[in-house]
Amino acid sequence: MIWKEKYRIGVSMIDKQHQELFRRVEDFIVNLRSSGKWEDRQEKVKSTMEFMKEYVVVHFRAEEEYQKKINYPGLAEHQRIHAGFKEEINNFAQKFEEEGYQEDLVQSLAGKLLAWLINHVASEDQKIGSYAKSLGGDSNEG
């Protein structure tokens, strides 16, 4: 399991979405490491890309809305980081469209997704949780 309890930021809506992202990325990686024909495993790549393109937008929007709600001072910077990641996903999607699901490109996507997700959730998103906690009250109502 890639998800760790320490990744929780203490805002249940965001934590649930993060867990779903971790679950999907893990599923994707397990599939990539499995044996069997590459052609058969490409379906998983397609569905993961479809999911990522949609869910990342939904999740980033929700996370940014929450930051607005609590007047999080790092919102602009956080939005910039989110926008950069969305662009990377879209670049991969574009390459897949042009070149097909090349195995090395897919492997590099998997590495990138995992590294980004862990780094982002373990550091940048934690700051949102700390800020929410510093306000007192129940951050889980967000």
- Interaction of residue 125 with Fe ion, rule CB under 5 A: yes
Q: Which stretch binds Fe ion (CB under 5 A): 16-24, 47-55, 111-119, 121-129?
A: 121-129
Query: Is the separation of the CB atoms in 120 and 85 below 8 Å?
Result: yes
The least CB distance from residue 67 to Fe ion, in Å, is 9
- Interaction of residue 15 with Fe ion, rule CB under 5 A: no
Q: At residue 95, what is the residue type?
A: K
- Nearest to Fe ion of 50, 77 (CB atom): 77
Tell me the CA distances in angstroms from 49 to 11, 37, 43, 93, one per residue in order.
26, 19, 10, 7
Task: Tell which positions 57-76 bind Fe ion, by CB under 5 A.
Answer: 63
Q: Three-class SS of residue 134?
A: helix
Residues touching Fe ion: how many (CB under 5 A)? 2
Q: How many CB atoms lie within 10 A of CB 8?
A: 17
Q: Which residues bind Fe ion (CB under 5 A)?
A: 63, 125
